[in-house]
Amino acid sequence: MRLLTALLILLMSHIVTANELFKKADVSRGKALVEQNCISCHASSFGGNGSEIYTREFRKIKSASGLITQVRNCSTMLDIKWFEEDEINVAAYLNQSYYKFE
């Protein structure tokens, strides 16, 4: 029981809010990167302007860190070669526009 409590305390000490993750992000740069690299792929998969991927009822992303991970996965799959800063900028833009994680 003590081990479980200690592990829980350790885990909770590493919880980071979206505000902390995105506080230095350049949201306008993130928007530009989304427009240049993401919209055409998402539109071909989901129709319209592609934003349905972010607003669908059963979306996969449940946290700010999960959003960054998904942006990183897309960047890797498409061989975009974004820097970590670019991934954070994109995630910050998506969070501000669609996800609203705190």
53: domain CATH number?
Answer: 1.10.760
65 inside domain: yes
Question: Measured between alpha carbons, how far is 55 from 68 in angstroms, rounded to an integer?
Answer: 17
- 6 occurs within a structural domain: no
Residue 45: exposed, middle, or buried by beta-carbon count in 10 A (0-12, 13-18, 19+)? exposed
Query: Position of tokens 């995105």?
Result: 22
Query: Is 3 inside a domain boundary?
Result: no
What's the CA gap between 91 and 51, in Å, rounded? 14
**Residues of the domain holding 21:** 17-99
Separation of CA 46 from chain center: 18
| Total number of domains in the chain | 1
Whose tokens are 């505000």? That residue is 19
Q: pLDDT of 1-49, one tens digit each?
A: 677 676 555 454 445 567 778 889 999 999 999 999 998 888 888 778 8
- Predicted TM-score (pTM) of the model is 0.80
